[in-house]
Amino acid sequence: DPKLSDRLARMVRGSRAKREWKRLKRFHLHSVPIPEPVLWAEGSDPNLGPKSLVLTKFIESSYTLGDILDGKKEVPGRWKLIQSGGIALAKMHSIGARHDDLHAGNLLVTYRKEEPDVLIMDLHQVRLRMGLTWNARLKNLATLFGGLRWKLTEREKHHGLKGYLQTLTDWNPPFRSEREARYSMGRGLEKFGRTYYRKRCRQRIAKCQESGKRFQRIQTGEYAGWVRGEWNSPDLLERLENPNSWIESVDCRVLKHTPTTTVARAKFDAEKPALFLKRYNRKDWWEKTKNLFRYSRAMKVWRAGYGLEVMEIPTPKVVAALEKRKGPILLESFILTEWTEGGIGLDDFWNERATEGSSNPFTPEERKVLRREVARLFGRLHDMRVSHGDLKGRNVLIDPSAPSPYNPEFVDLDAIQLRPWRFKRSRINDLSRLLFSVYPNAPLLTQVRFFRDYCGQDRTLWDQRKEWFARIQKRTRRKLREKGLVG
């Protein structure tokens, strides 16, 4: 059954097919690049209700922009298709049209001619206006570029804006040159795009606690929780009925056992990869009662893991989360994630390969690539205003069998804060914890190079890099004194 909002929209604005047909005709009339419209039809079925369809000409050898940017399809000259996309969006905005669902999957790339051509799809989401202000145009473009900020190079972004501005010449305010307009618009797009992307990602995090194809609610014996749909199977559910027995069985190899946590490598099917299983133990009744109105640590990791996945920040995929409660009192909780075979912490990996006399030392290029990749990873995490909270070197997992830069990813997400109250302080603590654990014996130049790579992703931070580095060093010295490593 259609949602109430869809029924109300149909009553007020007509069917989606009718709206799309009107916009197809208008776009085709004004030479906005779209698939050529062919037919629109509506009807009604006594059992299924009203039905409608829109037909357009089929385009051979076409791919969505999202598939190309994700690497699923290799094409020559990516900057040309980004520039073509800017031209298509400029033509759409020139007739007062705004696309409310503007993402890379709704832009179709075709090579009917020698040069790439970008077509706009899914037009029932388009709103028509008498005209669009520059602020409205920027916000509409930000819905597209916000999700592509990490997939496009600076050169490609400038080519896209160049194609856009050369097609639209009614610049407001009237800039002296196209280059000045492009740089001003680029700064605005970065601001609006970052805000929109953060908002969209945070809205999607709640989906990990909504039953559907991707995630399912489970109840196994005394335990309740969530499981990822692709992993949901009778064999796994059977073991989750009593996860403590699973940990003690021959299918699990316990790696760590402390009063607070138990960690094991778990197997339940020879055809499926191993899983990382972690049990959170409660030491006393105070630990149990203080979580009456809070998520368990397993559920925090469940939400945080999916949140980083949505934000496209590397972390092992969460597989399942379980809680055992007696009324509102939390007794136990478990988290399962994908297992990285042969994974090693960044601090151990760095100290093993970077020290003198190592049997397999870094080459200068490998050292630089790894440092830049970790700095880029930190930059993406903090750009989304997320703080890890326990970002020591061993919580950045490295895959030694992978090619350089060894696929670093964040693990141990129990202390993560998706919205820290004092983000600047949390950011300093994250960086200080990493430098304290990974580079304790490294020369100052190594730390400065890492911080320089980190700051290069944020222009505001780059302008204040000396002040920030001084604060990080102050925090690191205090931690060293607390550990008794310096006087």
Residue 197 and residue 222 in one domain:
no
Extract the tokens encoding 196. 């929109």
pLDDT of residue 483: 74
- Cis upstream peptide for 33 (omega within 30°): no
> Which two three-digit tokens encode residue 325?
């409660």
Which residues of 169-222 form beta strands (DSSP E)?
A: 215-220
**Alpha-carbon distances, residue 240 vs 55, 247, 312, 366, 425 (angstroms):** 49, 10, 29, 42, 39
Q: Are residues 308 and 391 in the same domain?
A: no
Residue type, 413: L
| 154 lies in the same domain as 216 | no
Residues 26 and 163 occupy one common structural domain: yes
pLDDT in tens, the chain (487 residues): 455 666 666 666 667 888 889 999 999 999 999 999 998 888 877 776 677 888 898 888 888 999 999 888 888 888 899 999 999 999 999 999 999 889 999 999 998 777 889 999 999 889 888 788 888 888 899 888 888 878 888 888 889 999 998 898 777 667 788 888 888 888 888 888 888 888 888 888 989 999 889 999 999 889 999 999 999 999 999 999 999 999 999 989 999 998 889 999 999 888 888 999 999 987 667 766 766 667 889 999 999 999 999 998 999 999 999 999 888 788 889 999 999 988 899 888 888 887 666 777 888 888 889 989 999 999 899 988 899 988 888 899 999 888 888 999 999 998 898 877 788 888 888 988 887 777 666 677 888 888 888 887 777 788 888 888 888 888 888 877 877 766 5
**Closest residue by Cα to residue 159 from 241, 210, 87:** 87
Does residue 361 sit in helix, strand or coil?
Answer: coil
| Contact between residue 197 and residue 188 where contact means Cβ atoms under 8 Å apart | no
Residue range(s) defining the domain that contains residue 111: 4-202
Do 364 and 299 lie in a common domain?
Answer: no
Output the six-digit token pair for 174.
């009237």
Note whether 13 and 142 are same-domain residues: yes
- 232 with 361, same domain: the answer is no
Q: Do both 114 and 215 map to the same domain?
A: no
Convert 258-325 into a string of H (helix), E (strand) and C (coil).
CCCEEEEEECCCCCCCCEEEEEECCCCHHHHHCCCCCCCHHHHHHHHHHHHHHCCCCCCCEEEEEEEE
Helix 364-383 vs helix 444-455: crossing angle, to nearest 10: 50
Length of the chain: 487
How far apart, in whole angstroms, are the C-alpha atoms of residue 446 and residue 429? 19
Q: Do residues 463 and 348 both lie within one domain?
A: yes
Residue 487 lies in a domain: no
> Residue 384's domain is classified under what CATH number?
1.10.510.10
121 and 164 housed in the same domain: yes
CATH number at residue 268: 3.30.200.20
